[in-house]
Amino acid sequence: MRLILLGPPGAGKGTQSARLREKYNIPQLATGDMLRAAVKAGTPVGLKAKAIMDAGGLVSDDIVVGIVADRIEEADAHNGFILDGFPRTVKQAEALTEMLHQKQMDLDAVIELVVDENALLSRIEKRAQETIAAGGTVRADDNPETFKNRLETYRAQTAPVSSYYRGVEVLKTVDGMAEIDDVTAAIENILQVKV
């Protein structure tokens, strides 16, 4: 099962990916998580990425494509993967198409979580409160100011990725405003039809 989840920040991609990872026993490849790990570890990629992430912009396509290319070579990704937060530009989508073509791999589904953008800021604020309540650390970019930039970045650079997949792959949409369990059920429905 090779799957892409698309949608703006706060749409629920991470939550749904984690559930699908459990159900299908395939890894969740979340480029945001990988970049945050690189920042924390102080690697050369992390040093380059930190300021961009803090500002709500996009890390360069070359860096992110390189990270994903390495990651899908790992043994646990041979049976499939869920891409969460990648591709975020049409250039990344084209690079992924080429990568999969070279490996003779197909995508099973590209699923877009469609949400009301007005509701996203309060979701992010809720996510921050829940993280604090659970004793965790809130992401540096989960604040209203940076979130506004992340949303603008999404509109300008990531929204066109949906049109890209409308052209070359089967793109399915799911109502991301529904209850979490209902969103999961809708995604599983699509995947069952597909498998």
Q: Tell me which residues are annotated as active site.
A: 13, 88, 127, 139, 150
150 binds ligand AMP (CB under 6 A): yes
End-to-end CA distance of the chain: 8
Three-state secondary structure call for residue 81: strand
Q: Which stretch binds ligand AMP (CB under 6 A): 39-47, 58-66, 71-79, 94-102?
A: 58-66
Nearer to ligand AMP, 56 or 80 (CB): 56
86 binds ligand AMP (CB under 6 A): yes
Give strand ranges (E) for the chain: 2-6, 28-30, 81-84, 109-114, 171-175
Smallest distance, ligand AMP to C-beta of residue 121, A: 14
Determine the Cα–Cα distance for residues 71 and 158; give it in Å rounded to an integer: 21
Nearer to ligand AMP, 12 or 56 (CB): 56
Look at residues 49, 73, 77 and name the one whose alpha carbon lies nearest to residue 61: 49
- Considering only 2, 7, 8, 9, the residue that binds ligand AMP (CB under 6 A) is 9
85 binds ligand AMP (CB under 6 A): yes
76: which residues sit within 8 A by CB, 6+ positions away? Answer: 26, 27
Applying CB under 6 A, the residues found at the interface with ligand AMP are 9, 31-32, 35, 52-53, 56-59, 64, 85-86, 88, 92, 141, 150
